Structure formats: structure tokens, C-alpha cells
Amino acid sequence: MMDSSPLRLRLSAEALGTFLFFFFGFNAIAVASELRNGSISTLGVAFAFGLGLALAITALGHVSGGHFNPAVTLGLATARNFPPNEVIPYWIAQLAGGFVAVLAVATVYSRHAVNALTTAPSPRITSGGAFILEFIVTGLFVMVITTVATDSRAPWHGVMTPLLIGLFIFTAADAVGPASGGSFNPARSLDPALYNLNFSHIWIYLIAPLTGAVLGGVIRTGFGPTSNTTPQRSARLDVLGQPRD
């Protein structure tokens, strides 16, 4: 359930949760780059992002809704599960929390390790191919979130939400990430790009997740509860499935 706290408190929770999520994922990338010798594999990086997201939602999702991703916020607004006027404030909070995670990693590891945080497709995958993969995965991600977090008809709705959302990111990062770059989150790619001043592929990781999230939100509305069985205030459901006043 999302708290009815003032927006500033929910934004603080969103920023802190994004920091928690990114810190574990970015740290795993830095360790893999810095220590090498098989210390952390691509599978380990996928675990760090997936479990980091699950823990962030567990810790702070009841306060902010647990988006920690600008594409998720936009997708939920498109699916009429989040107020549109709060999208931009949430984006700012997510970018701020993520950038602090980059700074934390940069204070410990070498410049080489921090450069490794920059998202890029595999050398064997074209930019267009990476765009398609990021677009599809983010759209599916929004569909999963809106089911497990906002649809009370699903028996796994509610308490299993953090685990299932984290499991999706783990699966996507493991199965698709090595090819596409594994972002599925504009803040995850924009924050390191801003720190490293490397924007060579950033268009992929901004446009593909955001447009994919919109499509996922639109598709999900077609599978949502019918209007004659759902109260009007369901359009204000948060990411953890409870109505907001």
C-alpha cells in the first residue's frame, strides 16, 4: 500500500529507493570490471539489479509506490494507475537518487569501473536491434507490474509484488541485457551518461523504454477490470495495489 504522505515525502522515498536499487546494480558492474577473475559474472550483475529492485520495493514501495524507473512511472500513468501531474516530480526524484548511486560508486572504484556503468549494446547488436529489445522488454515489464501490483483479480497480487518485479528484472537482465545493454530504465542509463559525459547511445535508452512503457500501459488497459465492476477511483491505484484518496 502506498502511504498518503505529502508528495515531498513520497519523492524522498522514491529517490532513496532508486539509490538502493542502482547502488547494488552499479556496484556489481564496478566489481566485475575492477576485480575481474570471475568475481561477478553477467549473471551476478543480473541478480544484483533484480534483487536490489525487490529490496527497494520492499523497503520503500509502501511510501512512494516503488517505481524507481521513469518508464514505469509513465507506463502506470498511461494505464491510469498513477496521477499524470506527479510524473515529472517522480522522474526528478528517480534521476537524483540514481545519480547519487553513481557518485557513491565513483568514490570507491577506478575511472575504468565507472566508465563501465555506461550502457551500450553488444558490439554484435545494432543500435536498431538494441532499441527493439529495450522497447519490448520495458513494455512487458509495465504489463507485469500493473498486473501484480494493481490488479486485485490476480491471486499473486499484493505481498508477492516485490519478488515478482525483481524476478522480471533479473530475467530480463540475464536473457536480454548482454545483447541490448540491459537498461529498461532511462535513469539507469542517463545518470552514468551524465557523470561520464558519454551520450553515444543514450537515445536508445531514453526513447525505447519510454515508448515501450506507454505501449505496455495501453495494452494493459485492455486486460484491466471492466468499468462496470471497478470503482472510478481505481484510476488512482498505486504500484502496490491500494487506492489513493
**Residue 241 within a domain:** no
> Could you give the percent of the chain with pLDDT greater than 90?
78
**Residue 243 within a domain:** no
pLDDT at residue 97 above 50?
yes
Residue 156 banded pLDDT, cuts 50, 70, 90? confident
Range scoring the smallest mean pLDDT among 14-18, 36-40, 132-136, 227-231: 227-231
- CATH code, domain carrying 76: 1.20.1080.10
pLDDT at residue 210 above 90?
yes
pLDDT at residue 159 above 90?
no
**Residue 53 within a domain:** yes
Residue 226 banded pLDDT, cuts 50, 70, 90? low
pLDDT at residue 243 above 50?
no
Taking only the tens place, the pLDDT of each residue in 109-120 is: 999 999 999 999
Mean pLDDT of all residues in the chain?
90
**Residue 62 within a domain:** yes
- Write down the pLDDT at residue 231: 37
**Residue 242 within a domain:** no
Range of the domain at 217: 7-236
- Write down the pLDDT at residue 48: 97
Mean pLDDT within 125-149? 96
Count how many domains the chain has: 1
What is the pTM for the complete model shown? Answer: 0.89
- Among 148, 142, 168, CA closest to 160: 148
Residue 2 banded pLDDT, cuts 50, 70, 90? low
- Write down the pLDDT at residue 35: 86
**Residue 207 within a domain:** yes
**Residue 244 within a domain:** no
Mean pLDDT within 229-243? 40
